[in-house]
């Protein structure tokens, strides 16, 4: 098994690092402070191919493996987890449109999404259905050549600022098999956006509830077939869990680098704090947790790319482990900074705030444990 990246992958990661340093790092603090949704930055990311990394080539995507996507998102998250995380959501929605959309839908939206000129949100969560996504109540009724959508969604990243919504709605009976997926233009009459949520972190991406009041959409904006929605949502979430896990790895790497630099600059009791063994051990543990998390994420990505039967469990394990361990790394880096780590003059406090939500979204880490346990106890999976 070769753990080394190829020359092409290294070059891809370096391109992402240069982009992050040039287009994200100088503005990340301002976007966070002023709650700015950086559309121009996303358009520039699109020019690099970063808005459709694993989307099909037929819509202008790069159609690369998930590992390459992880390389990009990690580099971006090392300086701005919030903006990087929205980019992962847009990539997921673009991939779904390109993979399961009708030819008409792909012709109208594919290249615009792949280029970053148009942006997409993912709409699964509802006020009454979070972890129990299969209980969602938003409905879509077939009426002639259209579907009519009614219901509400909650915690929608980019809501009110994006151009297309990938929406899960009920077209059949209760339960997972009655759910279908739709692409819905964000300015369609009948769509109403609630107030922008005031959040602990992720401030460079807006988060709003969305209400659908008899929203009429063409029938060919259905993704896949009726009843496929929950299956497509879970396929999307497998990749989404890798994406959010790698954003945690990136943020932790950024926090680790900041802590290492600070330890070599800060003096106490007449010597650099890097000379104190207690802090040396903390830094060693931080790096160990980052490397372990990174390898779990890359393993899960390889399982997903190869359509491994246990890919969902690997994605859940990577998400659970990486988001827990890497949030702790950010906390440790903040502790090393002492009082300065609590100030907005330093990026550490933003990294802490932005990574906290990673343990909650794309399925809480408690739900990740449910998925893993079900796979090994109910399905009898032999995972080693």
Catalytic residue positions, numbered: 362
How far apart are alpha carbons 255 and 263 in whole angstroms?
A: 12
Q: What's the alpha-carbon Rg for the chain, to the nearest Å?
A: 21
**Residue (of 116, 92, 114, 129) closest to 223 by Cα position:** 92
Per this entry, what is the length of the chain?
Answer: 384
Task: Answer whether 67's CB lies under 8 Å from 50's CB.
Answer: no
Burial of 198 (0-12, 13-18, 19+ CB in 10 A): exposed
Handedness of CA 68, 363, 379, 136 (dihedral sign): negative
Token pair recorded at residue 362 = 């794309």
How far apart are alpha carbons 213 and 193 in whole angstroms?
A: 11
- The residue assigned the tokens 């059949």 is 172
How far apart are alpha carbons 360 and 367 in whole angstroms?
A: 9
Provide the 8-state DSSP code for 22. Answer: I
């Amino acid at each position: 098994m070769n753990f080394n990246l190829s020359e092409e992958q290294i070059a891809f990661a370096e391109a992402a690092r240069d982009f992050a340093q040039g287009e994200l790092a100088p503005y990340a603090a301002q976007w966070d402070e002023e709650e700015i949704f950086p559309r121009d930055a996303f358009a520039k990311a699109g020019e690099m191919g970063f808005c459709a990394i694993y989307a099909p080539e037929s819509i202008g995507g790069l159609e690369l493996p998930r590992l390459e996507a992880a390389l990009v998102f990690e580099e971006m998250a090392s300086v701005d987890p919030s903006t990087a995380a929205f980019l992962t959501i847009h990539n997921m929605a673009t991939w779904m449109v390109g993979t399961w959309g009708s030819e008409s839908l792909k012709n109208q939206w594919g290249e615009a999404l792949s280029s970053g000129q148009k942006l997409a949100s993912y709409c699964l969560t509802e006020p009454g259905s979070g972890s129990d996504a299969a209980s969602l109540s938003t409905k879509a009724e077939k009426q002639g050549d259209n579907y009519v959508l009614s219901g509400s969604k909650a915690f929608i990243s980019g809501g009110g600022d994006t151009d297309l919504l990938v929406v899960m709605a009920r077209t059949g009976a209760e339960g997972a098999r009655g759910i279908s997926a739709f692409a819905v233009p964000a300015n369609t009459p009948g769509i109403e956006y609630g107030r922008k949520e005031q959040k602990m972190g992720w401030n460079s991406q807006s988060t709003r509830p969305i209400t659908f009041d008899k929203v009429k959409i063409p029938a060919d904006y259905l993704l896949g077939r009726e009843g496929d929605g929950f299956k497509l949502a879970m396929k999307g979430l497998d990749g989404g869990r890798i994406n959010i896990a790698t954003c945690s790895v990136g943020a932790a790497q950024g926090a680790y680098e900041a802590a290492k630099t600070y330890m070599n600059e800060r003096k106490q009791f007449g010597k650099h704090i890097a000379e104190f063994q207690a802090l040396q051990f903390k830094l060693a543990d931080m790096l160990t947790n980052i490397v372990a998390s990174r390898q779990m994420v890359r393993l899960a990505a390889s399982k997903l790319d190869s359509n491994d039967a246990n890919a969902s469990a690997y994605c859940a394990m990577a998400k659970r482990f990486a988001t827990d361990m890497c949030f702790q790394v950010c906390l440790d880096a903040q502790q090393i900074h002492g009082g300065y780590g609590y100030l907005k003059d330093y990026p550490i406090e933003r990294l802490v705030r932005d990574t906290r939500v990673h343990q909650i979204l794309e399925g809480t880490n408690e739900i990740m444990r449910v998925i893993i346990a079900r796979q090994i106890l109910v399905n009898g999976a032999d995972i080693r």
